[in-house]
Amino acid sequence: MAKFHKHILVCTHERAPGNSRGCCKHSLSEDVLLAFKQQIIEMGLQRKVRANQSGCLDQCSKGPVVVVYPDAVWYGGVRPEHVSEIMRQHILGDEAVEHLQIPDEDLTGIPLDNPAE
């Protein structure tokens, strides 16, 4: 199995219309995932970079949510038109795209200081 240099997770979780938590699928996260997959192919990065759909990442109000590992950089409000910037600056350039990042202190539901909780 390939060991990927970067792994891009795109939340495509769906909730029923009207659910108060909302969901990334209704903010067109599948288009974001498709844009990542297309750019990975266009850039010839299939053996180094992988984009996968994920279930809910518990940041639903900030969707579409994307996480890049191993960097553990979280992005919110990602649109297909942002994908080129993330690919160029972060995936190729190793520099997170600051204006799309969800700051660590804004990540909800993740016990950053005490993972055991």
Residues that bind ligand FES (CB under 6 A): 11, 13, 23-24, 56-60, 63, 65
Nearer to ligand FES, 24 or 91 (CB): 24
Helical H segments across the chain, by residue range: 29-42, 83-85
Q: Nearest approach, Cβ of 41 to ligand FES (angstroms)?
A: 24
Bridge partner residues of 93 (DSSP): none
Give the three-state DSSP class for 70. Answer: coil
Nearer to ligand FES, 26 or 48 (CB): 26
Q: Nearest approach, Cβ of 21 to ligand FES (angstroms)?
A: 7
Task: Strand 6-11: give its sheet, edge to edge.
Answer: 49-54, 6-11, 66-69, 73-75
Q: Nearest approach, Cβ of 12 to ligand FES (angstroms)?
A: 8
